[in-house]
Structure 1
Amino acid sequence: MPADLAVIGLGHLGLPLARAAVTAGIDTVGYDPDPRPYAELRAGRSPVEGTLTASEIRRMLSGGFRPTTNAAELGRVRTAVICSPTPLGPDRTIDLTALGDAARALAARLRPHTTVLLESAVPPGTTENVLRPLLEEGSGLVAGRDFHLACSPSRLDPGNRTHVLANTPKVIGGLTPACTESAAAFYGRLTDKVVRARGPREAEMTKVLETNFRHVNIALVNEMAVLCHDLGVDLWDVIRCAETKPFGFQPFRPGPGVGGHGVPVDPGFLPYSTRTPGHPLRMVSLAQEINDRMPSYVIQRCATLLNEHGKSVRGARVLLLGVTYKPDSADQEAAPAREIATRLMDMGAQIGYHDPHVLDWRVRERPVPRADSLYEAAAAADLTVLLQQHRTYDLQGLAVKAQLLLDTRGATPAGAAHRL
């Protein structure tokens, strides 16, 4: 059965896009070569934690959304949006394997006049230097002449109910002006505002700038957190005061590490370096180094607190609160909690956890005991560490019950806990 839209990749990018399209009345098919998302969706469940609720999935299915593992469906759509995962590889370069597989599957069935859009996070130049050749070689068609090609990097914030696709401006950069307008016509059905970039590289670089802006500024306040602790300065009060400045300042807050799907990208290290000047962004590399050190710093603070109270990390009962990468979400992508738990285990600590959104948590493939009664667990633990400030946590009450409470998010009232 033909459809107006194919969403390729049913992960944290593709599912919300498919939901928005179905809500807008667009006949949508979702393709993923992995049979697991298909099986979960057909059963009315989200295959990705923290993306959509079961009721939202059921509404999508009742609205006509059709998940499939059959690539033949891609040959019967007007618009195809590639939302394939692009994780970091072992060498910290972006892995474009899934993107390449999606492009080949689409190219074999690509028809003239189709609009192909790329939402995956990619290094600048990927749309033209990677995606375009794969589509043209596999289809025999020419981008910009026989089919439209554009990049529109996703700006979705998983779990954010305030800023959703409909009210978040969509940046679009087409291979040609006609490609841009075709993409704008599609996204104009889903969002209130479309922003036209000069081309695909400008659209791709917009995502790089936005992601690196977040990481660099978090790195700055992470360094400030360490400095302020050494000097006996309350950083959280400093931030409170600084954010009253009505210009030239945007508040960021430190934490135990930086998680999420938007990884920092250094365009100096591209998979096709012969076509780029190869100048690394030193500030981005340094920011990543600083943020990667934060779990170790949290461990250091844990050990110091325990020692100050006559206890050793070895044999200590440590309760970790909040193991997701952002508050009020089940998404654990790159959350620092797992590294912190691993390091504490290596030091001989007995680890437990509590998270209202994560009912089963494993570290090194071993289940970590989950606290049933939060207050009782905090009272029994030698040290409680707040890693994520979920809305359901009564932090003032926890500060009273816990023997020792380390707050890595600055969410507890001043003086109620030891803060990062």
Structure 2
Amino acid sequence: MTSSVAEQFIERVDDRSIVIGVIGLGYVGIPLALAALRQGIKVIGFDIDQKRVDALNAGQIAIKHIPMDLIVEGTRTSRFVATTDFDRLGEPDALLIAVPTPLTKYREPDLSYVVRTTEAIAQRLRKGQLVVLESTTYPGTTEEVMRPILESTSALTSGKDFFLAFSPEREDPGNPDFGTSTIPKIVGGDGADALAMSLALYGALVVKAVPVSSTATAEAVKLTENIFRAVNIALVNELKTVYAAMGIDVWEVIDAAKTKPFGFMPFYPGPGLGGHCIPIDPFYLTWKAREYDITTRFIELAGEINTRMPYQVVDQLARLLDSEGRMNLSDARILILGIAYKKNIDDMRESPSLKLIELIEKRGAKVAFHDPFIPVITPTREHPELTGRKSVPIGKEALAGYDAVLIATDHDDVDYASIVANAKLVVDTRNVCARKGFGAANVFKA
């Protein structure tokens, strides 16, 4: 049975008088804000980046796969405002946290963004507020890290004065079939009231809210989803290497295998893992498992395989340049096609293309890139030296000036026919040339 405070919260959700605060206005936070705006719910967006906040309030920010019409309309009607003023954290009835959870250089969880955000909330926390973490993390973070900070700083108690929950984001940037509102939401609460309030809130925002027994279970669900993908991608990456040695095309094998109507799910190889989830999330569990004296050998092996893929691609590129009688890689001019970690988006977080550039240049080659979605490389933790590099044009004459074109991202908005016709050598890590029917003697898979 829910308390009167929880019942009042749920009533405000039902009549859409609730105010939601979204902390972190990036690839997760903005779609979350949009889902609330679609339901007529007022949103206050919080971010530490003043330029991003100013752009949002001016309706000028552009994330290519996210329509911003509702943000623009929300700023005009005061249904949406972005701010860097964290003193306003006491205004919303629910605070949804969507901040980064990266890894350190030693592949350990970096919860600094979550901790700083929680500390900021704790200083302004008021009775009756719901606080929900959406950032992917290891089981136990919500109750073991966030709750002590919130309770000790605010002198309020979780489950009595305020309410705490975990509901992992499930964004798939650029997916034309599923967005925030159409993807079921996992919800775990710290107590019955927190769960009921979170279910009501997310039930209003998305197609379905799915309850689980605890915040730790909800945290484990998200890790399991992405570990499943990481392990299966590692499997096909390893199969690609084995089959290539046998003269077998792994993409043909997968396409044939997926005709089986049961017992098989297709995954595809690539030049390495990218994005904010799959390269990172499995290591959150491997780190936490050490606390219980458990070694996650299967997950760690998958990580090793996926991490090695850019090295294998560069080795293949070098062999192809040499076998074609052209030159050593150290003397070559290479064009990387695609900096985004997946096609048709402008997201380059953890992109394997950045590692490819690093490895190729270490061998002495000159590297340029073209990406219709990313005109310039923005600062990253791992590759600060690439900051500011600009996408180059890929006309007929430009293509002829490179010794090889390495396709790392298979954006649709690219003239692959022209690339195949004008490039001296094409190394395709995504099988896009074959899929589009542009096979030729100068095209090789990697």
- Bucket of the pairwise TM-score, normalised by the shorter protein: over 0.9
Give the stretch that moved more between structures: 341-350 or 163-172.
341-350
TM-score by length of 1: 0.94
Alignment of 1:260-279 (within 5 A): 260-262=275-277, 263-266=280-283, 267-270=285-288, 276-279=291-294
Cα offsets for 1:150-198 (capped at 9, x unmatched): 1000001122232111110000011112211100100111111111111
Q: Does 1:384 align with 2:405?
A: yes
Q: Does 1:58 align with 2:87?
A: no
Q: Does 1:95 align with 2:110?
A: yes
Letter in 2 for 1:265: P
The structural deviation recorded for 1:369 is 5.5
Any conservation in 2 of the 1:50–1:158 contact (CA below 8 Å)? Answer: no
Alignment of 1:24-63 (within 5 A): 24-46=39-61, 50=64, 52=66, 55=69, 57-63=71-77
Counterpart among 420, 426, 441 of residue 399 in structure 1 = 420
- Distance in 1 (CA, whole Å) between partners of 2:34 and 2:376 is 27
The structural deviation recorded for 1:339 is 1.1
- Distance change in 2, residues 1:367/1:348 (3 Å): farther
Q: Does 1:335 align with 2:335?
A: no
- Distance change in 2, residues 1:93/1:327 (3 Å): same
The structural deviation recorded for 1:113 is 1.4
Instruction: Judging by fraction of residues, say which structure has more helix.
Output: 2
Alignment of 1:20-419 (within 5 A): 20-46=35-61, 50=64, 52=66, 55=69, 57-63=71-77, 64-262=79-277, 263-266=280-283, 267-270=285-288, 276-310=291-325, 311-361=327-377, 364-365=385-386, 367-368=388-389, 370-413=391-434, 415-416=439-440, 417-419=443-445
TM-score by length of 2: 0.88
The SS at the match of 1:29 is strand
- Distance in 2 (CA, whole Å) between partners of 1:78 and 1:54 is 24
The structural deviation recorded for 1:25 is 0.9
The structural deviation recorded for 1:398 is 2.2
- Distance change in 2, residues 1:56/1:353 (3 Å): farther
- Distance in 2 (CA, whole Å) between partners of 1:349 and 1:53 is 39
Any conservation in 2 of the 1:318–1:352 contact (CA below 8 Å)? Answer: yes
Identity %: 37
Any conservation in 2 of the 1:361–1:368 contact (CA below 8 Å)? Answer: yes
The SS at the match of 1:112 is coil
Any conservation in 1 of the 2:184–2:206 contact (CA below 8 Å)? Answer: yes
How many residue pairs align between the two structures?
415
The structural deviation recorded for 1:373 is 3.3
The SS at the match of 1:378 is helix
Give the stretch that moved more between structures: 245-254 or 154-163.
154-163
- Distance in 2 (CA, whole Å) between partners of 1:349 and 1:54 is 40
Q: Structure 1 unaligned runs (5+)? A: none
- Distance change in 2, residues 1:210/1:104 (3 Å): same
The structural deviation recorded for 1:361 is 3.1
Cα offsets for 1:11-46 (capped at 9, x unmatched): 222111112112211111011233232233234333
Any conservation in 1 of the 2:317–2:427 contact (CA below 8 Å)? Answer: yes
- Distance in 1 (CA, whole Å) between partners of 2:33 and 2:98 is 10
The SS at the match of 1:195 is strand
- Distance in 1 (CA, whole Å) between partners of 2:194 and 2:389 is 50
- Distance in 2 (CA, whole Å) between partners of 1:194 and 1:76 is 25
- Distance change in 2, residues 1:3/1:182 (3 Å): closer
Any conservation in 2 of the 1:259–1:336 contact (CA below 8 Å)? Answer: yes
User: What CA RMSD, in Å, does the superposition of the two structures yield over aligned residues?
Assistant: 2.0
Letter in 1 for 2:404: L
Q: Structure 2 unaligned runs (5+)? A: 1-16
The SS at the match of 2:358 is helix
Cα offsets for 1:120-153 (capped at 9, x unmatched): 1111000110011111112111111222211000
